[in-house]
Structures are given as structure tokens and as C-alpha cells.
Amino acid sequence: MYGFTGTLDFQGYWFDQPVNAITNSLIGSATLGYDVGGGFAVVGALQGGATPYYTSYVNGLVKLTYNATYRSREVYE
């Protein structure tokens, strides 16, 4: 719709035994892309959560991507 695309992802683990005194791991991420034309899109991603190795974290990324879709056709006689 209007050239936008997006995703939401969530992941959760509950451990039988604590890892670094933490009993669960929760991570979430979201992406949003916009088609700028000519096979190019601007895409942004954001991820964050809490794991046994990080008390909490957030990271993000914005990039320009190219849709490398190639089409070919075979003709049978």
C-alpha cells in the first residue's frame, strides 16, 4: 500500500535453569521499507530486547537496497 512494506517479529525463551541469573530472553524487531522506484527501496530496522548476556539493548539500521529480480522466458517448440 503506497509503496510501504513492514514486519514485526518477537522471540521469547524461558530457560529451565537460570543463565547468568536470568530466567528468560525477550527480543523484538520491526522493519519498515519504502519503494523509491527503479528496483530501489529505503529500509529501516530496529531491534531491542533483554537477554542473559545484555541487560537491555537497542540497535537500528537504515539502508538503501536493490531488488535483484531477473526474469527469463524459455520457448518450447
* Per-residue pLDDT, 34: 94
Cα separation, 43 vs 6, in Å, equals 9
What are the residue boundaries of the structural domains of the chain, listed by start? 4-66
* Per-residue pLDDT, 41: 92
Assign 45 a pLDDT band (cuts: 50, 70, 90): very high
Assign 10 a pLDDT band (cuts: 50, 70, 90): very high
Mean pLDDT across 24-52: 93
* Per-residue pLDDT, 23: 92
> How many Cβ atoms sit within 10 Å of the Cβ of residue 44?
14
Which fold, 4-66?
Outer membrane efflux proteins (OEP) (2.20.200)
Q: Check: CB of residue 63 under 8 Å from CB of residue 75.
A: no
Q: What is the pTM of this model?
A: 0.70
Res. 2: pLDDT tops 80: no
Q: Is 45 left (phi over 0), alpha (psi -120 to 50) or beta?
A: beta
> How many Cβ atoms sit within 10 Å of the Cβ of residue 25?
17
